Amino acid sequence: MKNIVLMGFMGSGKTAVGRELSRLLSMQLIDIDHEIEQSEAMSITDIFMKKGESYFREREMEFIRKYAAERKLIIATGGGAVLREENLVALRKHGTIFCLTARPETILARTSRNDSRPLLQGNDRMEKIRSLLSSRGPLYEHAGIIIDTENKTPLQIAEEIRGIVQR
């Protein structure tokens, strides 16, 4: 079986859906952000603060290349992985990409529970979400199969993806 790749904006449900898919399909889940945090021994927020976003994007690309070359994995990428075409090329080679989407209001509600989102730091989180979605939205739309996560549980979304990959 090919890899199943979960992309989408922060708060779209990539990790939660990945956990459900892992359970349903008995496949290993690789969360790229988690892998980076483990290798750096610091949070994504700290990496952004201490080493910068460009350093983080380089590490992200390294891990994507590494895991994209393997088989039978569920790979949950960070929300910005779509910004580099080489990430998409690597992930498509042995995987099917699913882009999870949600409305800005839903993303705000899902991300407001923690402050570990470096690109949402500051006052007007909704404006930052709208701005980032505006620039990234077209990239997500062309990256893979779109899955709307509105009013669905992670299990429902995972079952929808399972139905697509098992056709």
**Spatial CA neighbour of 30 closest among 72, 59, 2:** 72
**CA distances in angstroms from 14 to 49, 82, 93, 115, listed in the order given:** 24, 13, 20, 18
Q: Are 68 and 61 in contact (CB under 8 A)?
A: no
User: pLDDT, tens digit, for every residue of 50-96?
Assistant: 999 999 999 999 999 999 999 999 999 999 999 999 999 999 999 99
Residue 124 lies in a domain: yes
CATH number at residue 10: 3.40.50.300
Q: Which pLDDT does position 117 carry in this prediction?
A: 59
Residue 167 lies in a domain: no
Q: Which pLDDT does position 114 carry in this prediction?
A: 65
Q: Are 36 and 56 in contact (CB under 8 A)?
A: yes
Mean residue pLDDT of the chain comes to 92
Place of tokens 């080493």: 51
Number of domains observed in the structure of the chain: 1
- Domain span at 144: 3-162
pTM over 0.85: yes
